[in-house]
Chain A
């Protein structure tokens, strides 16, 4: 497969780089695909991106009192709050994000009888608004697919699902957070080189053919899929339809992107300022290091910048990845255990354990800061990609020690083109709904919705 990305194609019309913010809505009605923008009053010129950033195992809680430690959660609320220790890497962006406290992901506490492992339910419920089902399924498609379907995505990739760490023999809901439908995970790219090839082509075996025969071959295949449908039973018809749909998606990807704006350019080396030395410490399949994480992050930002997609998701790790952190070792504290790694540490409530957890979460937020940095430097007209996007950092559970889903740690960055009012720490009433945040995100993206997944009770307040 060699997707065509022509970087020399002229911008269609003006492109939107030259339209300044603040002009009356009338002059900024359409994005570069000719789609109407979000509801009147929207001051942005571009359909916002949504980037989801997943981490496992929650943040620390005081083992004796059960209260959150103040490593992650800031003590003061409102604007101008003092950053906590773990949030320090985000200091340059304090005005660009919100910290949201007291959101409860009730969906993860459902279907315990189907899957007793809390982390699996935590992963499955991260962006689907539901829990697990039997046979490795979830209950609902994830928010990236819901939004893309509602908005009619016309980008080469409807969504981009990425992760670090391989599919390691555990159920698919522990290794995927993006779901096309309840029983089909979005194929997830786990290797930066493969991701680059997928997005931008190049490499592969043999010379670039002069003629592209994809359509001809797939026309034939479509004929055979129709013939096969006549021969098989009812449940297999769904399987064939899925196959046909996959071919359609592939053809859309192959048609390539038309964007050639200046910010769509080849990736640059990773930034060591974000602490990304290569890790020689293999975990399950040897794929975690901050350097690789940053390579994946950079490619996602690039994909959005080149309009290859508007929806990305990134699993920094899953609970099963058993990450070790030799680069965080120091001050008499060893943040490696040769065994269960991060997961084990998240269950250690001793003072040493809490300190280790703090270092880990801070390191994770460093990678998130790297993403925000790239997006903030990516100019889009009078604004930046960060301004025009919604970027959400969260963990699958609130605190790993008790597998608790109350008080999920959430950093919601970006301004959705101006609608999201950032720069605050908001502490909601206890047990406010995590899914209501998903509803709000959908609304900010331009999807009119009052429910998400199993939840039906409207959007989360105080965000706009």
Chain B
């Protein structure tokens, strides 16, 4: 497994599909399952919430839109009846209402509606895509590109957030210069790019180089004007009498790598009906555009020359050809890195290298350990996103991992050297993604008292696509106590007893409490710092029956078996494929993919094939943004 390339990056906003009223960096929001319950709340933490008609079960088998607070689809069942903490004479007891709602029926949510393809918009290459494209266009080994330094944002691929400022332009310029130098640094490399002598800069030879790089670099047909423009650019070296004999050729490459046609993915359409379009409001993407979309989606890089040739004749705009191409790409070893880009983005794995820890409480925490955690997760997840016939959701419930000497102490095992497969017994508290040290670590920034909340939020966002919005500004929120001699549960007690807090927090804390036996660097430590007996008792509000569970493995099983999780995975994949948030218009695309996911026994590659053949992937609705 190649180490994913990392330019100098800071933790970045990643693809999110959640209810939060606070949008991420230029992110559109998922509206499907988002309650606006907080607007109905009375001010002040000691006030009462309007008691609802307890409608018992959480949402199942309905295609209705979210209802108003407390009514309709609100999950009132199972809430404890607790008098609110407050001042003054005892008010009548109020039910703690947890406003969770999970979409356990994505097919139903679509109803009878038709598929609606989204709009068309420029999508700048992410940083890994830029590097991979430069590497593949010029046949360079990965190791030579590790010093390419790009602007810090750009690992997550949401298009709205990917822009080109002057700082970006400067870094792209430098990167292109450096890549051009390497691409022409040896006779073998030069021969691969043009079968003629590139020094001396004869127009004839430069033109051959241009032919080689421009069509593939731009992923579409190019005009004579553009080719002439690159030749003019190359002449600048000649005119300046540059002592470097290859400078003219290098400028050709620099021009290509700085061009918007290289930096952006764009949608060109078929004008004129080569194929009947299912809906007159749509346009069908051209063969080149589809090839570009699929190549970046599956391989994380630009299409190779053979595929570009195929695009001329094969008409990937036909669904059956697209499916065949998808399978061809998935069989390419580069697809492993391409699929890993999705997984990495979805799970936010690189964050484990960035989280700080209190050195007094966690003296073992350092970069080497973080790297070990990341490697373990990468190797583990390969078995679920890449292995043939793998059930992707089983990443939640397996019973093994790959343990190397760096990570062994976290498991209380002997150091082993290189990573070896370790199987966990049924009575051990390990097994499944939520028990991996990387997950237990990267989810928590801030102290122990915040851990249940943020772990709960991560799990809901990542696996259920449903989490509550931030607290309203008008709410007076006392900070949890910083007294580390008091248990975390006690310090967060008001989140469950106070109805105003509980409405949202009961979606989060009880999930995170399920992981309380694992400390902030992933060790199993059921005594905790306060020497208690932690048993990981938790509750998953929003699933049918608001089930309780004991410990990480039971939580994993609940998630694994739920349609809400399967639907959420589908949404995340679509969000990645389309480089935008998933909204109401996508409900039926989600439904179709959900059915295909099920039919393919939850194999990720099959899901990808089905998505690629969907009308939503191969058409756009012009004018929609």
Contact = CB atoms under 8 A, between A and B. Distances in A.
21 contacts: A112-B474, A113-B39, A116-B38, A116-B470, A167-B12, A187-B166, A206-B181, A210-B242, A213-B251, A214-B173, A217-B258, A228-B261, A228-B264, A233-B622, A240-B260, A243-B164, A243-B260, A246-B166, A250-B173, A339-B482, A344-B479
Assign chain A's interface to a size class. Answer: 35 or more
B281 to A, nearest CB: 14
Interface stretch (B311-319, B412-420, B441-449, B507-515): B441-449
Interface in B218-261: 223, 225-226, 229-230, 232-233, 236-237, 240, 242-243, 251, 254-255, 258-261
Given A116-B469, A117-B473, A347-B479, A166 B23 contact: no
Contacts of B12: 167, 169
B229 A116 contact: no
A116 B21 contact: yes
B40 interface: no
B229 A337 contact: no
Given A169-B11, A285-B354, A239 B22 contact: no
Interface stretch (A90-98, A219-227, A289-297, A302-310): A219-227
Nearest to A109: B473
B441 to A, nearest CB: 14
A286 interface: yes
Given A217-B233, A240-B260, A284-B356, A117 B166 contact: no
B168 A228 contact: no
A236 interface: yes
Contact of A171 (B24, B174, B354, B479): B24
A175 to B, nearest CB: 9
> Main SS of the interface on chain B?
loop
A247 B251 contact: no
Nearest to B445: A284
The listed residue with most A CB atoms (<10 A of its CB), out of B25, B120, B176, B476, is B25
A116 B255 contact: no
B421 interface: no
A118 interface: yes
B226 A223 contact: yes
Contact of B446 (A121, A172, A339): A339
Interface stretch (B105-113, B130-138, B145-153, B400-408): B145-153
Interface in A81-122: 112-113, 115-118, 120-121
Given A210-B242, A403-B473, 6 more contacts: A116-B469, A135-B160, A169-B24, A233-B119, A247-B169, A250-B173
B215 interface: no
Nearest to A239: B122
Contacts of B166: 187, 246-247, 249-250, 253
Given A172-B25, A225-B260, A166 B152 contact: yes
Given A136-B25, A169-B13, A240-B260, A227 B174 contact: no
Contact of A187 (B151, B226, B236, B237): B151
Contacts, number: 209
Interface string B141-174: 0000001000111000000110111111111011
Given A116-B471, A220-B259, A348-B479, A227 B446 contact: no
A135 B254 contact: no
B28 interface: yes
A338 interface: yes
Contacts of B261: 224, 227-228
Contacts of A171: 13, 22-25
Contact of A337 (B167, B225, B447): B447
A168 B10 contact: yes
Contacts of B10: 166-168, 190, 285
Contacts of A285: 10-11, 354, 356
Given A187-B166, A240-B260, A210 B11 contact: no
B163 A239 contact: yes
A242 B122 CA distance: 13
A347 B475 CA distance: 13
Given A136-B25, A231-B266, A167 B260 contact: no
Contact of A347 (B236, B358, B473, B478): B478
Contacts of A184: 163, 165
The listed residue with most B CB atoms (<10 A of its CB), out of A190, A220, A223, A280, is A220
Given A204-B174, A285-B11, A338 B229 contact: no
Interface in B1-30: 10-14, 21-28
Contact of A213 (B21, B237, B354, B361): B237
Contact of B240 (A112, A211, A225, A227): A211
